[in-house]
A and B are shown apart, each in its own frame.
Chain A
Amino acid sequence: MTPSAPAVPRGTLRRGFGVLWVAVREEPRVFAVSAAGSALFGLTTIAQAYVFGAVTERVIVPAVEQGRVDHAALAVAFLAIVGVATLKVVGILARRLGAGIMQYRLQAAYRRRVTRRYLQLPLSWHQQHPTGQLLSNAGSDVEATWYPIAPFPFAVGVVFMLVVSLGLLLGTDPVLALVGSVVFPAIAWLTVVYSRRMSPLMTRAQHLRAEVSGIAHESFDGALVVKTLGREASETERFGDKALELRDVMTDVGRVRGLYDPLMESLPTLGVLVVLWVGTSRVGSGALDAGELVRVAYLFTLLAFPVRALGWVLNELPRSVVGWDRVQRVLRAEGDQRHGEVRLPATSSPTALHVAGVSFRYGGHDVLSGVAFTVDPGRTVAVVGSTGAGKSTLASLLVRLLDPVTGAVTYDDVDVRELAPGAVADVAALVPQTTFLFDDTVRSNVTLGADLPDEEVWAALRLAQADGFVAALHAGLDTVVGERGTTLSGGQRQRLALARALVRRPRLLVLDDATSSVDPRVEQRILAGLREAVHDDGRPSTVVVVAHRRATIALADEVVVVERGRVVDRGSHEQLLQRSAAYADLVKAYERAEAERAALAAGSEVGA
Chain B
Amino acid sequence: MTAVPVPVGETERGSFATLLHGLRLTPEFRAGLGRTLLLAVGATAGRVVVPVAVQQTIDHGLVGDEPDLPLVRWAVAAATAAVLVTALANYLMNVRLYRTTENGLAALRTRAFRRVHDLSLLHQSAERRGSLVSRVTGDVDQVSTFMQWGGLLILVSAAQLLLASLLMLVWSWQLTLVVYACFLPLLFAVRAFQRRLHTAYRAVRERVGDMLGAIAESVVGASVIRAYGVQDRTARRIDAAVAGTQRAQTRAQTIAAATFSTGELTAAVATGAVVVVGVVMGAGGDITVGQLVGFLFLVTLFVQPVQLATEVLNEAQNAVAGLRRVLAVLDTPTDVADPADGVDLPPGPLAVRFDGVSFAYPRGPEVLHDVMLEIAPRSRVAVVGETGSGKTTLAKLLTRLMDPTRGTVLLSGQPLPSVSFASLRQRVVMVPQDGFLFDTTVGENVRFGGPGATDDDLVLAFTELGLADWLDQLPQGLATPVGERGEALSVGERQLVAVARAYVADPDLLVLDEATSAVDPATEVRLQRALDSLTRGRTTVAIAHRLSTAEAADEVLVVDAGRVVQRGPHADLLRDRDGVYARLHASWLAQSR
Chain A residues with CB under 8 A of B438: 218, 222
Q: Judging by beta carbons under 8 Å apart, are B133 and A213 in contact?
A: yes
Q: Judging by beta carbons under 8 Å apart, are A273 and B53 in contact?
A: yes
In the complex, how many residue pairs between chain A and chain B have their CB atoms under 8 Å apart?
451
Task: Identify which of residues 84-114 in chain B touch chain A, using a CB-to-CB cut-off of 8 Å.
Answer: 84, 86-88, 90-95, 97-99, 102-103, 105-106, 109-110, 113-114
Q: Judging by beta carbons under 8 Å apart, are A266 and B279 in contact?
A: no
The digit string for B64-94, where 1 denotes a CB below 8 A from any CB of A, is: 0001010011001001100110111011111
Q: Judging by beta carbons under 8 Å apart, are B283 and A67 in contact?
A: yes
Whether, in the assembled complex, B233 has its beta carbon less than 8 Å from a beta carbon of chain A, the answer is yes
Task: Identify which of residues 281-326 in chain A touch chain B, using a CB-to-CB cut-off of 8 Å.
Answer: 281, 283-284, 290, 293-294, 297-298, 301-302, 305
What is the CA–CA distance of A498 and B213 in the complex, to the nearest angstrom? 23
Chain B residues with CB under 8 A of A265: 46-47, 87, 90
Whether, in the assembled complex, B401 has its beta carbon less than 8 Å from a beta carbon of chain A, the answer is yes
Across the A-B interface, give the 6 residue pairs with the lowest CB-CB distance, nearest first.
A254-B98, A230-B425, A85-B268, A258-B94, A425-B229, A100-B253
What is the CA–CA distance of A396 and B223 in the complex, to the nearest angstrom? 9
Q: Judging by beta carbons under 8 Å apart, are B250 and A263 in contact?
A: no
The digit string for B432-470, where 1 denotes a CB below 8 A from any CB of A, is: 101011110000000011010000000000000000000
Question: Interface with B: A170-178, A528-536, A576-584, A600-608, which one?
Answer: A600-608
Q: Judging by beta carbons under 8 Å apart, are A247 and B449 in contact?
A: no
What is the CA–CA distance of A565 and B91 in the complex, to the nearest angstrom? 68
Task: Look across to chain A and name the residue whose beta carbon is closest to the beta carbon of B117.
Answer: A232
What is the CA–CA distance of A60 and B62 in the complex, to the nearest angstrom? 13
23 A-B contact pairs sorted by A residue (CB < 8 Å): A64-B279, A77-B275, A85-B269, A89-B265, A96-B256, A96-B260, A100-B254, A107-B246, A119-B231, A213-B138, A243-B109, A250-B102, A255-B95, A258-B93, A262-B43, A262-B86, A266-B87, A277-B76, A305-B304, A425-B229, A595-B592, A599-B584, A599-B585
Q: Judging by beta carbons under 8 Å apart, are A223 and B121 in contact?
A: yes
What is the CA–CA distance of A198 and B124 in the complex, to the nearest angstrom? 38
Whether, in the assembled complex, B219 has its beta carbon less than 8 Å from a beta carbon of chain A, the answer is yes
Interface size classification for chain A: 35 or more
Chain A residues with CB under 8 A of B422: 230
Q: Judging by beta carbons under 8 Å apart, are A97 and B254 in contact?
A: yes
Chain B residues with CB under 8 A of A293: 57, 62
The digit string for B212-230, where 1 denotes a CB below 8 A from any CB of A, is: 1101111111111111111
Whether, in the assembled complex, A598 has its beta carbon less than 8 Å from a beta carbon of chain B, the answer is yes
Whether, in the assembled complex, B278 has its beta carbon less than 8 Å from a beta carbon of chain A, the answer is yes
Among candidates A115, A425, A551, residue contacting B215 with C-beta atoms closer than 8 Å: A115
- Count chain B residues whose beta carbon lies closer than 8 angstroms to a beta carbon of A: 168
Most buried by A among B132, B211, B219, B282: B219
Say how far B197's CB is from chain A's closest CB, in angstroms: 14
Task: Look across to chain B and name the residue whose beta carbon is closest to the beta carbon of A114.
Answer: B215
Whether, in the assembled complex, A164 has its beta carbon less than 8 Å from a beta carbon of chain B, the answer is no
Question: Interface with B: A234-242, A364-372, A374-382, which one?
Answer: A234-242
Whether, in the assembled complex, B288 has its beta carbon less than 8 Å from a beta carbon of chain A, the answer is yes
Chain A residues with CB under 8 A of B430: 224, 228
Q: Judging by beta carbons under 8 Å apart, are B269 and A82 in contact?
A: yes
Whether, in the assembled complex, A572 has its beta carbon less than 8 Å from a beta carbon of chain B, the answer is no
Task: Look across to chain B and name the residue whose beta carbon is closest to the beta carbon of A225.
Answer: B436
Known A60-B278, A280-B69: A422·B229 in contact at CB below 8 Å: yes
Say how far A453's CB is from chain B's closest CB, in angstroms: 18
Among candidates B246, B545, B591, residue contacting A108 with C-beta atoms closer than 8 Å: B246
Known A228-B430, A272-B50, A280-B62: A223·B276 in contact at CB below 8 Å: no
Known pairs A235-B117, A258-B93, A396-B223. 6 more at Cβ < 8 A?
A81-B275, A254-B95, A265-B47, A399-B227, A597-B545, A604-B388
Known A266-B87, A601-B387: A251·B220 in contact at CB below 8 Å: no
What is the CA–CA distance of A55 and B297 in the complex, to the nearest angstrom? 13
Chain B residues with CB under 8 A of A29: none
What is the CA–CA distance of A225 and B438 in the complex, to the nearest angstrom? 10
Known A232-B117, A239-B110, A247-B105: A112·B213 in contact at CB below 8 Å: no
- Which applies to chain B's interface (DSSP): helix, strand, loop or mixed? helix
Question: Interface with B: A1-9, A537-545, A586-594, which one?
Answer: A586-594
Q: Judging by beta carbons under 8 Å apart, are A599 and B588 in contact?
A: yes
Whether, in the assembled complex, B4 has its beta carbon less than 8 Å from a beta carbon of chain A, the answer is no
Q: Judging by beta carbons under 8 Å apart, are B222 and A123 in contact?
A: yes
Among candidates B46, B110, B118, B218, residue contacting A269 with C-beta atoms closer than 8 Å: B46
Among candidates A64, A88, A428, residue contacting B288 with C-beta atoms closer than 8 Å: A64
Q: Judging by beta carbons under 8 Å apart, are A229 and B50 in contact?
A: no
Task: Look across to chain B and name the residue whose beta carbon is closest to the beta carbon of A90.
Answer: B261
Q: Judging by beta carbons under 8 Å apart, are B136 and A216 in contact?
A: yes
Among candidates A93, A222, A277, A302, residue contacting B436 with C-beta atoms closer than 8 Å: A222
Known A107-B246, A600-B584: A221·B54 in contact at CB below 8 Å: no
Question: Interface with A: B166-174, B186-194, B234-242, B351-359, which one?
Answer: B234-242
What is the CA–CA distance of A425 and B591 in the complex, to the nearest angstrom? 36
What is the CA–CA distance of A254 and B91 in the complex, to the nearest angstrom? 9
Whether, in the assembled complex, B475 has its beta carbon less than 8 Å from a beta carbon of chain A, the answer is no
Known A105-B246, A251-B98: A227·B117 in contact at CB below 8 Å: yes
Most buried by B among A216, A243, A600: A600
Known A258-B98, A594-B591: A236·B117 in contact at CB below 8 Å: yes
Q: Judging by beta carbons under 8 Å apart, are A284 and B279 in contact?
A: no
Chain A residues with CB under 8 A of B121: 223-224, 227
Chain B residues with CB under 8 A of A255: 94-95, 98
Q: Judging by beta carbons under 8 Å apart, are A60 and B282 in contact?
A: yes
Say how far B238's CB is from chain A's closest CB, in angstroms: 5
Whether, in the assembled complex, A126 has its beta carbon less than 8 Å from a beta carbon of chain B, the answer is yes
Chain B residues with CB under 8 A of A430: 223, 227
Known A92-B257, A225-B436: A600·B220 in contact at CB below 8 Å: no
Q: Judging by beta carbons under 8 Å apart, are B132 and A220 in contact?
A: yes
Say how far B512's CB is from chain A's closest CB, in angstroms: 11
Say how far B364's CB is from chain A's closest CB, in angstroms: 16
Q: Judging by beta carbons under 8 Å apart, are A230 and B424 in contact?
A: yes
Task: Look across to chain A and name the residue whose beta carbon is closest to the beta carbon of B387.
Answer: A604
Whether, in the assembled complex, B148 has its beta carbon less than 8 Å from a beta carbon of chain A, the answer is yes
Q: Judging by beta carbons under 8 Å apart, are B221 and A596 in contact?
A: no
The digit string for B282-299, where 1 denotes a CB below 8 A from any CB of A, is: 111101110011001100
Chain B residues with CB under 8 A of A115: 215, 218, 235, 238, 242
Q: Judging by beta carbons under 8 Å apart, are B83 and A269 in contact?
A: yes
Say how far A149's CB is from chain B's closest CB, in angstroms: 12
